Amino acid sequence: MKQDKRVAKVMNSLEGIQRAKAPHDGFAKIRQNLADQRQQEQTAAYGWMKVAAVIAFVVTSNVWAVTNFLQTGTAPSAETGSYTQITTDFNLYE
């Protein structure tokens, strides 16, 4: 009995309700939002590529500078030949 009244109450409350309809431009708005999100993701990806390129450039230039420095050597051989007498004169531990 209570259940019948409850069902009748629910069915009576549904009177006058119409089926919901989607707005006419609803799909266009969804498509535009998706396109905007893709564009924002692509611009963010290009920003990271620029940062990675700068870091790669700095690292490679540093490696190049270090290898050129090590290839030149630290002491030229011409100076050691001309100053051998002076260095032997001041050598206190011989």
d(CA 35, CA 27): 12
d(CA 86, CA 89): 5
Its domain, for residue 51, covers: 30-57
Q: Is residue 8 part of a domain?
A: no
Q: Is residue 82 part of a domain?
A: no
**Count of domains in the chain?**
1
Q: Is residue 79 part of a domain?
A: no
Q: Is residue 51 part of a domain?
A: yes
pLDDT digits (tens, 9 = 90+) for 40-79: 877 766 778 888 999 999 999 999 999 888 887 655 555 5
Residue 6 pLDDT greater than 80, yes or no: yes
Residue 94 pLDDT greater than 60, yes or no: no
Q: Is residue 3 part of a domain?
A: no
pLDDT digits (tens, 9 = 90+) for 18-41: 777 878 888 888 899 999 888 887
Q: Is residue 62 part of a domain?
A: no
